[in-house]
Structure 1
Amino acid sequence: MTPSRPDRPTPPRRPPDPRPAAPRVPAPRSTGSTRADSSSTPAKDPAAEPKAASGRLASGRPASGKGATARSESGKAGPATGASAASSSGMPAGRDSAGNVTTYTARGRALGVPVRPSVVSTGSADRFAERLASRRRILRHKIYLVTAGVVAAAGLGWLLLLSPVLTLKPTEVSITGAGTVVAVEDVSAVVARVGGIPLPRLDTVGLRDRILDVPGVRSAKVLRVWPHGLAITLVSREPVAAVPQKPPSTGPAAGGPAGFTLLDTEGYQVGWADTAPKGLPVVSVPIDGKNERTLTAVLTVLRALPAGLRVQVATVAATSQDTVQMGLRDGSSVRWGSASDAPLKVAVLQALRKAPETSGAKEFDVSAPTLPITR
């Protein structure tokens, strides 16, 4: 009989190593009719999750995707890029090590490379700095624009008001309408005083007033002719009557030669002549304060006569403003009367001189134009 072998004590079994449970990933929410009831869905056992779950990223991306930790065939872990690098470093996805928000361009998203924003910063200090820099930049632009405008205005002002580009040249001044009594040299002498002044600064009104002081000028018009000239148009005081003037008995001119004072239609003395100019009637009305109304009536009658009839008048006499009488160069006389109804008297006189029955008359009385008399 074979002795039995004593039973060996059975060694205690080692308990299995506790395996770390994989992090639970929340299920995506659904909306509308596709939302499932949580009570009808059986809960998954965390222990039933495979070990491969530990290789997933916190962002829910598969381990084999781009940007996750890549493993080679030998089992060694490769470098993490993109969002996985942020996950492995403990920072939330979309932020760098400094905590700044990152964004992705189309190229950077494909490579998983975070890109810093180029315009807006997230920190309040950075935003304030950017705002201050923007305000300074706008202020600089305004200063540049204002400075450029001031420089341009100053240059334009110097060009127009001070430079010799637009100065007046007396040789380029034209004078017309001088007539027979205005000396063009006197007008040119007045213009020469303002030579060299830029045309924009030239006082044309003052120049016109100085030209009106020239003897024989009734009115004047001054226009600028760019870049260096002027156009001066004159209306001269043409004489219509020659009044005999005796030399004064006292004074510096005492004993001087007698002559004729030339008057225009307004009674202004426009000249002096030793003899009566050809074509001007001689008015035998003294120039003094006592005969002012009589002389005014005579000049008014002469102004109303047509040019063709006026040159035929040789003498004019009047003792009052209602007794104007003219002597024609053909030897006939005209009793005119007052200065009223001048157009009608002119028409009647011309008709009487043309009519065959009265053309040879020596005296025409048109003082009452509706009842003319010829002798």
Structure 2
Amino acid sequence: MLATAERFAERARLRRRLTRRRAVWSAVGVVAAVALGWLAFLSPVLALDVTAVEVVGEGTVVDPASVLAVVAAYDGTPLPRLDTVELRRGVLDVPGVRAAEVARDWPHGLRITLVSREPVAAVPAPSEDAAAAADQGGHGAPAADQQAGQAAGYLLLDVEGVQVGRAAEPPVGLPVVNVPPDDEDARAMTAVLAVLESLPPELAEQVSAAGAASEDTVSLTLADGARVEWGSAEQSALKARVLLTLRAAPASAGAAVFDVAAPTMPITRAG
């Protein structure tokens, strides 16, 4: 009986020891979790340092300093607590930014990748008279006013028709676009910009001007004076390939007009 009692007593001691050990380890775990939480969410160990922020993809129109000014409002915020969705919204409000992605770069930085609104066309700025007429509900200025308005400079547009700048003269390499002054729904302009965006680099660099009387009558003027009747923005990739082939063909050496509106039946003319 004595041996049995001793065994029960020993088992009780072991249970108490295990219970205390579990309690100790649980307490250690809680303390560790609290410490890690404080380290990650409250301490400066993982805090954002604005000098460790990298901005890429700003292109030619976005001022990186403006992006960093948005980020500066979050300087010192622990990265795990940083609201990257809200920060991205702020970056999208920076002039010239078309799209943005924000990624944490541990332990203190961010990588902000931008898609900038690069200009693809220069459009003669309307004269003050034309702008006033538009403000008063008019339907645009007459052609003479449009010509006079060219002295006001050029609006630089991106592929979506958003103004990203202004210049006294068309920048080198940027085609001048002319559309009817009564293009109220912007269909002609949208078609021209879509065509310009679709051009491969080797063709885009040859375009000096573009225009359209309607969305189905886009035309291009090349640097050597050749005119391209493009038609609508549909099948632009095929039209570009056909045009490049025609331009390289010896039989088209004297052509001044290239009609690729129907790309499977292109036409070349002397003038």
The answer as to whether partners of 1:222 and 1:231 remain within 8 angstroms in 2 is: yes
Tell me which of 109, 118, 121 is aligned to 2:5: 121
Partner of 1:26 in structure 2?
none
Partner of 2:202 in structure 1?
308
The answer as to whether partners of 2:255 and 2:268 remain within 8 angstroms in 1 is: no
Give CA deviations for 1:128-180 in whole Å, capped at 9, x if unaligned: x7776655444433322221111111111111111111111111111111111
1:180 partnered with 2:60: yes
Instruction: Structure 2: give runs of 5+ residues left out of the alignment.
Output: 136-148
CA change 1:162–1:287 in 2 (3 A) is farther
CA distance in structure 1 between the partners assigned to 2:84 and 2:90 by the alignment? 10
Alignment of 1:201-216 (within 5 A): 201-216=81-96
1:198 partnered with 2:198: no
* Structure 1 residue matching 2:122: 3-state secondary structure: strand
Alignment of 1:92-107 (within 5 A): 101=2
* Structure 2 residue matching 1:227: 3-state secondary structure: coil
1:338 partnered with 2:232: yes
1:145 partnered with 2:40: no
The answer as to whether partners of 1:181 and 1:236 remain within 8 angstroms in 2 is: yes
The answer as to whether partners of 2:252 and 2:268 remain within 8 angstroms in 1 is: no
CA change 1:288–1:175 in 2 (3 A) is farther
Tell me which of 173, 181, 184 is aligned to 1:279: 173
Alignment of 1:1-375 (within 5 A): 101=2, 117=3, 120-121=4-5, 136-246=16-126, 247=128, 248-249=131-132, 258-285=152-179, 290-369=184-263, 370-375=265-270
The structure that is helix-richer by fraction is: 2
* Structure 2 residue matching 1:249: 3-state secondary structure: helix
Give CA deviations for 1:36-73 in whole Å, capped at 9, x if unaligned: xxxxxxxxxxxxxxxxxxxxxxxxxxxxxxxxxxxxxx
TM-score (norm 2): 0.83
Over the matched positions of the two proteins, sequence identity in percent amounts to 53
Q: What amino acid is aligned across from residue 100 of structure 2 in structure 1?
A: A
CA change 1:261–1:133 in 2 (3 A) is same
Q: What amino acid is aligned across from residue 255 of structure 2 in structure 1?
A: A
Q: What amino acid is aligned across from residue 213 of structure 1 in structure 2?
A: D
CA distance in structure 2 between the partners assigned to 1:348 and 1:145 by the alignment? 75
TM-score (norm 1): 0.61
CA change 1:132–1:286 in 2 (3 A) is farther
Partner of 1:45 in structure 2?
none
Question: C-alpha displacement at 1:342, in angstroms?
Answer: 1.5
Partner of 2:141 in structure 1?
none
CA distance in structure 2 between the partners assigned to 1:287 and 1:202 by the alignment? 48
* Structure 1 residue matching 2:228: 3-state secondary structure: strand
The answer as to whether partners of 1:243 and 1:286 remain within 8 angstroms in 2 is: no
The answer as to whether partners of 2:206 and 2:223 remain within 8 angstroms in 1 is: yes
* Structure 2 residue matching 1:154: 3-state secondary structure: helix
Number of aligned positions between the proteins: 251
Give the greater-gyration-radius structure (CA). Answer: 1
Question: C-alpha displacement at 1:319, in angstroms?
Answer: 1.1
CA distance in structure 2 between the partners assigned to 1:287 and 1:263 by the alignment? 16
The structure that is strand-richer by fraction is: 2
Question: C-alpha displacement at 1:270, in angstroms?
Answer: 2.1
CA distance in structure 2 between the partners assigned to 1:215 and 1:288 by the alignment? 28
Q: What amino acid is aligned across from residue 302 of structure 1 in structure 2?
A: L
CA distance in structure 2 between the partners assigned to 1:236 and 1:192 by the alignment? 21
Instruction: Structure 1: give runs of 5+ residues left out of the alignment.
Output: 1-99, 102-116
Structure possessing the higher relative contact order (Cα contacts under 8 Å, 6 or more residues apart):
2
* Structure 2 residue matching 1:283: 3-state secondary structure: strand
